[in-house]
């Protein structure tokens, strides 16, 4: 181990003596690692990693299709209520409206928190339940009913000190008193947007409710496929149309995997981008291999002198490979910093996407480390096989 550390230190000194070569090789490595890791983290978060809910493939998004082929991802409140009351393909069907900021009073101070108005089927559709208390009842979604609220775990800790007796206490939102009836479990989040507090979506017949501003998701019933649910919704929409409630130009309701809907138009773009970045990784590997092999080959005289002076072949190989490993390691460290910065930037643009996936980073780094090892070992092994006297004679 001591000899190996000496070789690594020697390799770092040799790299420092050749700043131009070192800078080009390290930047090439860092670019390949940073871009690939960041983009694959986004690809994994948007397309590959399952949603953080039980049986996520059972969650579907409702889209309104028009006769010209365009799709709307929002419905009116009457449409939602009709589909909820007449469809039979779903274990839960939910409506929600989005991210409204409300003021909350904490002692003498006022802060702003993010709220989401949801129907009683929202948490069952996601397959989650409050860790404390209960969810929203259907009666609480009727206009004029009591105002209740469900806290996120983070708001429960920050505003109520994680008090388990919080159920039944009052919280004042925009000067309206709400009764806390539930607290969501640790780790739960709504993938589309950050939410601090959930309150009932009370649907009436106001102008707001007749507008197309209500999102609808559902959880498929046990043993029900997406195709079967779509057939059921085709029948239900026809009933809705026959009673004269459908707007002119509406063709029907199209169901779509919720995860696929979240990816939206990004699917093709991300896959194309990942293909381009994957090609960049291949170029990075080829460039690093060429640089390291050229660097090792240029040291034929040094290697021959060491062999002529009695150095063991294994020691020479270890020394040269240690330099290659040191070079790749420096590139990996810089690449990690770049990957973290880039993936955090992309995560801020795309909701529900985590920062750099460490397993992805490890895989990309492992590939480049293997390339560095081989690119160092192969020419060094070839150089140590040459008779030192012959090599020095023709220098």
| Reported confidence tier of residue 94, pLDDT bands at 50, 70, 90 | very high
Determine the pLDDT at residue 4: 57
Whole-number Å distance between alpha carbons of 3 and 22: 23
Whole-number Å distance between alpha carbons of 284 and 25: 9
Is 151 in the same domain as 194?
Answer: yes
Whole-number Å distance between alpha carbons of 392 and 77: 87
Determine the pLDDT at residue 346: 62
Is 224 in the same domain as 90?
Answer: yes
CB 254 within 8 A of CB 260: no
> What residues have CB less than 8 Å from 57, skipping those under 6 apart?
50, 257, 259
Is 227 in the same domain as 89?
Answer: yes
Domain membership of residue 300 (yes or no) is yes
Is 181 in the same domain as 222?
Answer: yes
Domain membership of residue 260 (yes or no) is no
CA distances from 32 to 281, 284, 329, 339 (A): 5, 6, 13, 10
| pTM given for the model | 0.66
Whole-number Å distance between alpha carbons of 175 and 159: 16
340 or 154, higher pLDDT = 154
> What residues have CB less than 8 Å from 319, skipping those under 6 apart?
7, 10, 11
275 or 220, higher pLDDT = 220
Determine the pLDDT at residue 349: 58
* Residue whose C-alpha is closest to residue 75's, from 97, 106, 54: 97
What's the mean per-residue pLDDT of the chain?
A: 80
* Residue whose C-alpha is closest to residue 87's, from 235, 270, 210: 235
| Reported confidence tier of residue 199, pLDDT bands at 50, 70, 90 | very high
pLDDT at 152 over 80: yes
Instruction: Give residue 86's Cα distance to chain centre.
Output: 36
Is 279 in the same domain as 173?
Answer: no
* CA atoms 13, 14, 15, 19: torsion sign: positive
The residue out of 222, 248, 274 marking a domain boundary is 248
Helix, coil or strand: residue 345: helix
- Token pair of 206 as six digits: 């106001």
Whole-number Å distance between alpha carbons of 102 and 113: 6
Whole-number Å distance between alpha carbons of 187 and 52: 9
Domain membership of residue 313 (yes or no) is yes
Write out the residue range of the structural domain in which residue 240 sits: 69-248
Is 232 in the same domain as 125?
Answer: yes
The residue out of 213, 248, 283 marking a domain boundary is 248
* CA atoms 324, 325, 329, 330: torsion sign: negative
Is 269 in the same domain as 387?
Answer: yes
Is 368 in the same domain as 308?
Answer: yes
Segment 81-107 mean pLDDT: 88
Determine the pLDDT at residue 200: 94
The count of domains in the chain is 2
| Reported confidence tier of residue 7, pLDDT bands at 50, 70, 90 | low
Domain membership of residue 225 (yes or no) is yes
Please give the helix or strand (H or E) that residue 207 lies within, else none: helix 207-210
- Token pair of 111 as six digits: 């802060």
Determine the pLDDT at residue 156: 94
Domain membership of residue 63 (yes or no) is no
Tell me the CA end-to-end span of the chain in Å, nearest whole number: 34
- The full DSSP string for 157-199 is HHHHTT-TT-TT-EEEETTEEEEEEEEPPTT---TTS--SEEE
Domain membership of residue 255 (yes or no) is no
Determine the pLDDT at residue 319: 76
Determine the pLDDT at residue 338: 73
Of the chain, the percentage scoring pLDDT greater than 90 comes to: 31
Domain membership of residue 371 (yes or no) is yes
Is 231 in the same domain as 273?
Answer: no
Please give the helix or strand (H or E) that residue 250 lies within, else none: strand 250-257
Whole-number Å distance between alpha carbons of 260 and 277: 22
Is 363 in the same domain as 314?
Answer: yes
Choose the most confident range, by mean pLDDT, from 40-54, 227-241, 274-288. 227-241
Helix, coil or strand: residue 102: strand
| Reported confidence tier of residue 234, pLDDT bands at 50, 70, 90 | very high
DSSP annotation of 214: B
| Reported confidence tier of residue 99, pLDDT bands at 50, 70, 90 | confident
- Token pair of 35 as six digits: 């871009």
Segment 338-347 mean pLDDT: 68
Domain membership of residue 64 (yes or no) is no
Determine the pLDDT at residue 360: 67
Is 98 in the same domain as 228?
Answer: yes
Is 145 in the same domain as 199?
Answer: yes
Determine the pLDDT at residue 6: 63
The residue out of 215, 248, 281 marking a domain boundary is 248
């Amino acid at each position: 181990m001591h000899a190996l550390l000496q070789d690594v230190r020697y390799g770092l000194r040799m790299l420092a003596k050749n700043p131009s070569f070192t800078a080009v090789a390290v930047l090439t490595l860092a670019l390949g690692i940073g871009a690939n890791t960041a983009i694959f983290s986004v690809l994994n978060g948007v397309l590959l990693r399952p949603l953080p809910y039980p049986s996520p493939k059972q969650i579907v998004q409702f889209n309104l299709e028009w006769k010209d082929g365009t799709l709307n991802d929002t419905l009116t409140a009457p449409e939602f209520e009709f589909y909820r009351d007449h469809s039979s393909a779903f274990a839960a069907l939910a409506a929600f409206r989005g991210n409204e900021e409300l003021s909350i009073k904490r002692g003498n101070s006022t802060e702003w928190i993010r709220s989401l108005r949801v129907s009683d089927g929202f948490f069952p559709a996601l397959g989650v339940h409050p860790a404390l208390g209960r969810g929203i009842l259907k009666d609480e979604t009727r206009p004029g009913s009591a105002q209740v609220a469900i806290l996120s775990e983070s708001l429960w800790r920050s505003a109520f000190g994680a008090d388990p007796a919080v159920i039944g206490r009052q919280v004042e939102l925009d000067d309206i008193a709400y009764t806390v009836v539930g607290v969501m479990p640790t780790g739960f989040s709504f993938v589309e947007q950050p939410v601090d507090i959930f309150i009932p979506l009370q649907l009436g017949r106001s102008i707001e409710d007749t507008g197309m501003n209500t999102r609808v998701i559902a959880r498929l019933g046990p043993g029900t496929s997406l195709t079967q649910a779509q057939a059921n919704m085709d029948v239900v929409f026809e009933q809705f149309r026959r009673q004269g409630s459908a707007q002119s130009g509406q063709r029907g309701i199209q169901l779509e995997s919720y995860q696929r809907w979240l990816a939206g138009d990004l699917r093709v773009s991300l896959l194309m981008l990942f293909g381009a970045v994957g090609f960049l990784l291949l170029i990075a590997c080829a460039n690093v291999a060429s640089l390291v092999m050229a660097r090792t080959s240029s040291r034929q005289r040094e290697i021959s002198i060491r062999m002529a002076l009695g150095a063991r072949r294994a020691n020479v190989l270890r020394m040269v490979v240690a330099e290659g490993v040191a070079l790749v390691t420096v590139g990996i460290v810089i690449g990690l910093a770049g990957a973290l910065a880039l993936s955090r930037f992309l995560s801020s643009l795309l909701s529900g996407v985590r920062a750099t996936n460490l397993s992805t980073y490890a895989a990309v780094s492992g590939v480049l480390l293997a390339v560095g090892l081989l690119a160092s070992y192969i020419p060094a092994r070839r150089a140590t096989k040459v008779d030192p006297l012959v090599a020095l004679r023709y220098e």
